[in-house]
Amino acid sequence: MSGFLRRVGAMVRKEFLQLLRDRVSFATMIMIPLLQLVLFGYAINTTPRHLPTAVLAYENTPLTRSILAAIENTKYFAVTHHPTSAAEAEHLMRAGDVLFVVEIPAGFERAVVRGENPAMLVAADATDPVASGSAIAALRNIIDTSVRRERFAREKGPQGSGLEEAPPPFEIITHARYNPAAVTQLNIVPGLLGTILTMTMLIFTALSVTREIERGTMETLLAMPIRPVEVMLGKIAPYVMVGAVQATMIVVAGIFLFKVPVVGSMALLTALTALFIVTNLSIGYTFSTLAQNQLQAVQMTFMYFLPNILLSGFMFPFDGMPRWARWISETLPLTHYLRMVRGILLKGANVADLSQDILALSAIMLVAMVIAVKRFRQTLD
């Protein structure tokens, strides 16, 4: 046993020295989280506000005015253009000057009052559904409300002044739990914690064994009295620490820069993050035993990274995926980790709430470790 610890210790020491000497890799490990945080945190927003909107109104009545006021009140829309013809409106949209065209037909109010259920056209530039999606959802809501209120005021209110005296502020009810303001950062920052750890942990361990093979040092290492599991632990351990530093950076930045709430237990988050880091390192190590050279190792990492990003629920909602895609995503560590982080940080989830994800992640880790140790060749055969 003491021999085991001594050899693992020697490996860890060696790996650390190499890591510290490899300035570029070391800088990358620190820069990747920072860059991604800044980019995702400040530059990317999936529920953009103040989208340019054109209003093509064929009548100007109290009802249409109140609808337009309500539209602007949502903050999703900024009425920037008032085209006078359909052709002009069409041009604005084609040129990309506006994302929405709201067209109010002539006789709209009268039709509403008569209960004819008139149509109001809202054309949206859906080339980027993410950008327009939440705005459309809000729009439908307010128009419903406006029309109902106007009709209600007309029917119940005193004759003649009913329209003018209807309460002008139109309330918009969007029910967004945990992120009431639909602030993208609250979703993105916990997600980033998972993706950044996946990316850096995987790449650096995937390179570690293949680098030894490429540089010819593997032959010497294999000729030494050291066991595969000792090599693996010795190579993984330094990166656990690197991962811990990255995770701390991201969480601290999330709390202070993006005001991410910490509803749940920080200790639980730390423990589960450690589990996630070790899982990724084991997978990366498995790749490195499969790859012939460093280039292949990087290619494998990217192949693995892609479904993680697309299917884990980081980019697109998990519940929007078909069943088969969900099955795939259940096998990805990132899926489970994202549930854990979002659960702990935003919802205050505890161990019992997350037990299924913890079990799944542990199982994935064990499988990866077994494959890695089995795959590690003790000989050059």
Partner 1 sequence: MTGSAAGPTAPGKDAADYVIEVAGLSKSFGDRVVVRDLSMRVRRGQIYGFLGPNGSGKTTTIRMLCGLLTPDSGHGTCLGYDILTQSRAIRRHVGYMTQRFSLYADLSVRENLEFVARIYGVPDPVRAAREAVERLGLAGRERQLAGSLSGGWKQRLALGACILPSPQLLLLDEPTAGVDPKARREFWMQIHELAAEGLTVLVSTHYMDEAERCHEIAYIAYGDLLAQGTVEQVVAHSGLTTWSVTGGDPAALARELAGRPGVEMVAPFGTSVHVGGHDDAALARAIEPFRARPELVWRQDAPTLEDVFIDLMSRSKDNFR
- In this structure, are residues 75 and 50 in contact, taking their beta carbons and an 8 Å threshold? yes
Question: Closest approach of Cβ 130 to partner 1, in Å?
Answer: 45
- Selected from 115, 158, 169, 225, the binder of partner 1 by CB under 8 A is 225
Binding test (CB under 8 A) with partner 1, winner from 115, 158, 167, 216: 216
Which helix (DSSP H) or strand (DSSP E) does residue 271 occupy?
Answer: helix 266-290
Shortest distance (Å) from residue 314 CB to partner 1 = 35
Residues 6+ apart with CB under 8 A from 29: 200, 204, 242, 245, 246
Q: Per-residue b/e over 220-242, b at no fewer than 16 CB within 10 Å? A: eebeeebebebbbbbbbbbbeeb
Spatial CA neighbour of 279 closest among 199, 205, 364, 345: 364
Sign of the Cα pseudo-torsion (353, 357, 361, 362, in order): positive
By CB under 8 A, name the one of 63, 226, 253, 373 that touches partner 1: 226
Residue 375 makes contact with partner 1 by CB under 8 A: no
Q: How far is CA 133 from CA 53, 80, 130, 283, in A?
A: 14, 19, 5, 37
Rounded to a whole number of angstroms, the minimum distance from the CB of residue 12 to partner 1 is: 10
Beta carbon of residue 286, minimum distance to partner 1 (angstroms, whole number): 22
**CB 217 → partner 1: shortest distance, Å?**
5
In the complex with partner 1, the residue whose CB is nearer, 81 or 375, is: 375
The span of 43-51, 136-144, 216-224, 339-347 binding partner 1 (CB under 8 A) equals: 216-224
Provide, rounded to whole angstroms, the least separation between the CB of residue 230 and partner 1.
Answer: 9
3 state DSSP class of 216: coil
7 binds partner 1 per the rule CB under 8 A: yes
Helix (H) or strand (E) holding 11: helix 2-21
Q: How many residues bind partner 1 (CB under 8 A)?
A: 27
- Using the rule CB under 8 A, give the single segment among 3-11, 98-106, 245-253, 267-275 that binds partner 1: 3-11
| By CB under 8 A, residue 23 contacts partner 1 | no
Checking DSSP bridges between strand 100-104 and strand 121-124, what pairing results, if any? antiparallel
Instruction: Give the span between the Cα atoms of 179 and 242, in whole angstroms.
Output: 31
Q: Which stretch binds partner 1 (CB under 8 A): 8-16, 76-84, 125-133, 191-199?
A: 8-16
Residue 217 binds partner 1, judged by CB under 8 A: yes
Maximum Cα–Cα distance across the chain: 99
Q: Which of 85, 117, 159, 220 binds partner 1 (CB under 8 A)?
A: 220
**Least separation in angstroms between CB 239 and partner 1:** 17
Q: Which residues are at the interface with partner 1 (CB under 8 A)?
A: 3, 6-7, 9-11, 13-14, 17-18, 21-22, 215-220, 222-226, 378-381
